[in-house]
Amino acid sequence: MTAQELQKAVLRHLELSLGKDLAHATVYDIRMSLTLAVRDQVIAPWFESTRKTYAAQSKRVYYLSMEFLIGRLLEDAVNNLGLKQTAQEALDALGFDLTQVIADEPDAALGNGGLGRLAACFLDSMSTIGCPGMGYGIRYEHGLFRQSFHDGVQIEEPEDWLRQPHGWEFARPEAVERIGFGGTVEAHDGRMRWSPADAVLAKAHDTPIIGWQGQWANTLRLWGAEPIQAFDLEAFNRGDFVGAAEQEAFARTISRVLYPDDTNGEGKELRLKQEYFFTAASLRDILRRFLSEHDDLELLPQKVAIQLNDTHPAIAGPELIRILHDEHGLEFDHAMALARNTLSFTNHTLLPEALERWPQALMARVLPRHLQIIARIEEAFLAAQPESPVRILEDGDVRMGELSFIMAHRVNGVSALHTGLVKSTVFAQLHRTFPDRIVNQTNGVTPRRWVLGANPRLSALITDRIGPGWVDDLEQLGALEPHVEDAGFMADYAASKAGNKADLAAWIADTTGIAVDPAAMFDVQIKRIHEYKRQHLNILETIALWQDMRANPRAGWVPRVKIFGGKAAPGYVRAKEIIRLINDVARVINADPVTGDLLKVVYPANYNVSMAEKLIPASDLSEQISTAGKEASGTGNMKFALNGALTIGTLDGANVEIREHVGAENFFLFGMTAEEVVARREDPQHQAKAIAASPRLAGALKGIADGTFSDGDGARYAALLADLRGHDYFTICADFDSYWNCQRQVDAAFADPARWMRMAALNTARSGWFSSDRTIRGYMADVWDITPLI
């Protein structure tokens, strides 16, 4: 497609789809017109992919996830179709700037963090590889809340991405499923029949996901909840205006809002209904498609692979059995075997509070038939494993982890370390019973978004030296390694980082009003705020550094900008205290004329995918400092390494594998190992001893306690401090000195720019393994048993 053709297509949509002429067109109008013009280019490969899948009678993969953290789609699509340059020229001629038009698209923030973003990277990789499949999720009217700070305190406001029409999706009013809740179960002619008391409609909305170079496209199908009968005219005519809309209100509540917690999944009824709603709609859709192609349910595991993204869609096990047994009349054990051979399950967390459990009483009320089926699953399991101490039903709860494990033929962890811990801790008993079931699939990230899209400077440099093949074969980055000996390459590499940092410095000045020195080290921690991720370890080190700098400002310090980004779950009090502390510390340090440009702290509000795309390419240092054993994998860590930021990190999650790939000498390691953490906690004085041994840590804690950062209010952080001094489960104190010392090694390395840039370039050259294309190939081989169709 030429720029002229694209320009014509944009103008046609501007007129015919938007009803505007160029003279009155806004950025929004142009963005929508360009979106529709680009979407037009996706249709042919999309249809062709479907045709090929049918023609090959291929197996299909269905990725069930409560969350898809997509971000913006336009830039991705333009890049994958090779239309970046073309679009730029087309818009230039119309008097619009492509960058500005791209930035006009609201982020689709239908996820909390890592798990949702992983699902989005997987969709891109499946389309790039030609793995036939679909993502299934919920079309939340409101994605993750918008964050702002008032006096440093996090405020949540509803996110409203659907206020504008969503240019990428196709509504499918004909693809509807009726989803029931509650009611009763009775036997009828030897079969159990569930008669739900309430029902809603699940309506499909399809977004095409185009792969690299437009070779293949899959579908993301998101379900929106709608009332079966929009409006009760009888009630209205009686004068009951509220009652007339009641059905509608109940239905729409189900897909209204994304739950903003990424742990602490309390057993909330609406959440259970959301889980069942999208899982049941997806399974019916999957089975209808299967039965339109095959007439034998025996073939289900050969033709269908269903991946459960954590336990959130775990009700798929009982629901699939219900369909096969209650509706199609298969024997229970037979139905259970077919379901298990079709389903597989990914575990993303070991945190006990994040493992889903539903009160049996609640399940009995909302999904009475499913509770009965779960009891029979447990019975069947125990009949085969009479010695096993494992139970699905325990303490009045349904344990969704055990249910998912027992109903899956493969269970995977998301990094080597995490998978080992899954085997030795949460699922140790089940692993003994089924030693082949647990496999590892280390996470990955899509290079299309996280290098090509986010970092055009670095991408141009890479392509200039090794050609464009790296974009869908990321291990080709290894060919960069010899170039680190080339002064010309290293100068260009440094220049690309400097350019990104200058852009970011301008953006920071714009959005926060803080002037930062682009030559300073950009030290970045962006992720959800969590005690186990230890943003408070970072801010304690920041305080200690500031105190040292003030005591001796001319000691040759390496200037730093500490950058934080991330949201706290609205009900997570301690995480919100940490946010306020960071903002309080930032306010005091940034106003200190003694330290000046030596140290700045910035925390732009409302961190999201688009902000990550700005920050990561401009980062020097990547903070991956979780308490060892707690971060299942991490995926931000991979994005940073690819973009040439050096990691300071613990031996946790995928950090371990990143360090192995980039080389120990190009990674700043500190802190206790997972085993050492467990052992250290045996000593109830571990935190007290660490504080007594570290005057710096004691000084930083004292700075918080005496109100230095809280206008003299010593009480503001009393609870946080009491926890650190009294319990410190996440071993902030015990790891502090190791972290401090490691940060000084970081300083020394940064003070030698040639050494630093060489380390950074080696991180880029050696991180190709962390492509989500590699991860998806692993799932295809070890879990889904499917081969690509391109």
Beta-ladder partners of 523: 562, 621
Concatenating the DSSP letter of every residue in 259-277 gives: ---SS-----HHHHHHHHH
Shortest reach from residue 377's CB to ligand 26Q, in Å: 21
Compute φ and ψ for 69, nearest 5 degrees.
-95, 80
404 binding ligand 26Q? (CB under 6 A):
no
Q: Which of residues 439-468 bind ligand 26Q (CB under 6 A)?
A: 443
Closest by CA to 558, choosing from 386, 408, 748, is 748
Asked if 370 is an active-site residue, the reply is no
632 binding ligand 26Q? (CB under 6 A):
yes
Q: Which residue has the tokens 């390694």?
A: 481
Instruction: Give 230 or 361: the residue with its C-beta nearer to ligand 26Q.
Output: 361
Shortest reach from residue 567's CB to ligand 26Q, in Å: 12
Asked if 528 is an active-site residue, the reply is yes
Q: Which of residues 115-144 bind ligand 26Q (CB under 6 A)?
A: 115, 118
Asked if 533 is an active-site residue, the reply is yes
CB neighbourhood size of 498 (10 A) = 14
354 binding ligand 26Q? (CB under 6 A):
yes
Indicate which residue of 340, 370, 497, 528 is catalytic: 528
262 binding ligand 26Q? (CB under 6 A):
yes
114 binding ligand 26Q? (CB under 6 A):
yes
Instruction: Give 113 or 211: the residue with its C-beta nearer to ligand 26Q.
Output: 113
687 binding ligand 26Q? (CB under 6 A):
no
Instruction: Give 119 or 724: the residue with its C-beta nearer to ligand 26Q.
Output: 119
Q: 624 near 652, Cβ under 8 Å?
A: yes
Stretch that binds ligand 26Q, among 216-224, 335-343, 466-474, 626-634 (CB under 6 A): 626-634
469-472 own/partner pairs: CB under 8 Å, 24+ apart: 470/768, 471/212, 471/447, 472/128, 472/212, 472/213, 472/447, 472/448, 472/773
Shortest reach from residue 400's CB to ligand 26Q, in Å: 9
Report d(CA 254, CA 329) in Å as an integer: 31
Shortest reach from residue 275's CB to ligand 26Q, in Å: 9
Stretch that binds ligand 26Q, among 467-475, 609-617, 630-638, 743-751 (CB under 6 A): 630-638
Shortest reach from residue 399's CB to ligand 26Q, in Å: 13
Helix, strand, coil content of the chain in percent (nearest 5): 55, 15, 30
274 binding ligand 26Q? (CB under 6 A):
no
Alpha-helix residue ranges (DSSP H) falling in 552-673: 573-590, 609-615, 636-642, 655-662
Compute φ and ψ for 239, nearest 5 degrees.
95, 5
Asked if 635 is an active-site residue, the reply is yes
775 binding ligand 26Q? (CB under 6 A):
no
Indicate which residue of 410, 580, 639, 661 is catalytic: 639
Residue in 142, 322, 348, 370 binding ligand 26Q, rule: CB under 6 A: 348
271 binding ligand 26Q? (CB under 6 A):
yes
Shortest reach from residue 617's CB to ligand 26Q, in Å: 20
Instruction: Give 571 or 695: the residue with its C-beta nearer to ligand 26Q.
Output: 571
Asked if 340 is an active-site residue, the reply is no
680 binding ligand 26Q? (CB under 6 A):
no
75 binding ligand 26Q? (CB under 6 A):
no
Shortest reach from residue 421's CB to ligand 26Q, in Å: 12
What is the per-residue binding string for ligand 26Q in 499-518, x denoting contact by CB under 6 A?
--------------------
From residue 237, give the alpha-carbon distance in Å to each of 184, 251, 785.
31, 22, 58
338 binding ligand 26Q? (CB under 6 A):
no
Concatenating the DSSP letter of every residue in 522-582 gives: EEEEES---TTTTHHHHHHHHHHHHHHHHH-TTS-PPPEEEEEE----TT-HHHHHHHHHH
651 binding ligand 26Q? (CB under 6 A):
no
Closest residue by beta carbon to ligand 26Q:
265
Report d(CA 773, CA 474) in Å as an integer: 8
Shortest reach from residue 247's CB to ligand 26Q, in Å: 26
Shortest reach from residue 417's CB to ligand 26Q, in Å: 11
Which H or E run includes 134? strand 133-138
Secondary structure letter of residue 71 according to DSSP: E
Closest by CA to 460, choosing from 341, 589, 617, is 617
Secondary structure letter of residue 322 according to DSSP: I
Structure tokens at 714: 């010593």
Asked if 20 is an active-site residue, the reply is no
Report d(CA 741, CA 787) in Å as an integer: 49
Closest by CA to 73, choosing from 20, 127, 24, is 127
Residue in 414, 445, 601, 677 binding ligand 26Q, rule: CB under 6 A: 414
397 binding ligand 26Q? (CB under 6 A):
no
Indicate which residue of 39, 221, 409, 527 is catalytic: 527
622 binding ligand 26Q? (CB under 6 A):
no
38 binding ligand 26Q? (CB under 6 A):
no
SS (H, E, C) 323-378: HHHHHCCCCHHHHHHHHHHHEEEECCCCCHHHCCEEEHHHHHHHCHHHHHHHHHHH
Contacting residues toward ligand 26Q, per CB under 6 A: 112-115, 118, 259, 261-263, 265, 271, 348-349, 354, 356, 414, 443, 631-635, 653
Task: Tell me which residues are annotated as active site.
Answer: 348, 527-528, 533, 635, 639
